[in-house]
């Protein structure tokens, strides 16, 4: 299982006490390598502070986000089993970056408006780090 957390729950517990950890909304994506031959990619769990998007980018060994090949709406809070329909063919061995994007900055609520490099519905960052997980299509 590949998980990208941007803050440690243990460290938060030491600094803030256990009550704060129970309400921890640190954005994260948890996903595993998976078969995408059905045209769908899934995240096991997503935590977001606001409504937004799970966005599926192509990537490679350089780990830079590439073109968007799928997206799905997400709710504020923690959501399990978030599935995005792929809009392009993805081959076995291709690397995909599952990333949390905001709903902010666009012209329409509920319509995914992001294009690579744009600010509309752009990526969420915590301490300048993207909230994402990289998987390999099987």
Q: Is 44 exposed, middle or buried (0-12, 13-18, 19+ CB in 10 A)?
A: middle
Task: For residue 62, give the DSSP letter.
Answer: T
Instruction: Report the domain count for the chain.
Output: 1
Tokens of 3: 């998980």
Nearest-angstrom CA–CA distance, 119 and 65:
14
Q: What is the pLDDT of residues 38-93, one digit of tens each?
A: 999 999 999 999 999 999 999 999 999 999 999 999 999 999 999 999 999 999 99
Helix (H) or strand (E) holding 55: strand 52-59
The residue range of the domain holding 99 is 2-136
Q: What is the pTM of this model?
A: 0.82
In the DSSP assignment, the letter for residue 34 is B
Mean pLDDT of 113-117: 89
């Amino acid at each position: 299982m590949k998980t990208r957390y941007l803050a440690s729950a243990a460290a938060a517990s030491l600094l803030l006490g256990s009550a704060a950890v129970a309400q921890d909304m640190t954005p994260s994506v948890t996903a595993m390598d998976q078969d995408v031959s059905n045209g769908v990619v899934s995240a096991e769990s997503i935590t977001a502070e606001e409504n937004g998007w799970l966005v599926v980018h192509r990537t490679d060994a350089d780990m830079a986000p590439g073109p968007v090949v799928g997206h799905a709406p997400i709710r504020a809070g923690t959501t399990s089993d978030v599935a995005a329909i792929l809009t392009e063919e993805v081959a076995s061995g291709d690397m995909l970056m599952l990333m949390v994007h905001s709903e902010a900055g666009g012209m329409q609520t509920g319509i995914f408006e992001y294009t690579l490099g744009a600010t509309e519905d752009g990526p969420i960052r915590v301490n300048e780090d993207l909230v994402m997980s990289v998987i390999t299509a099987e």
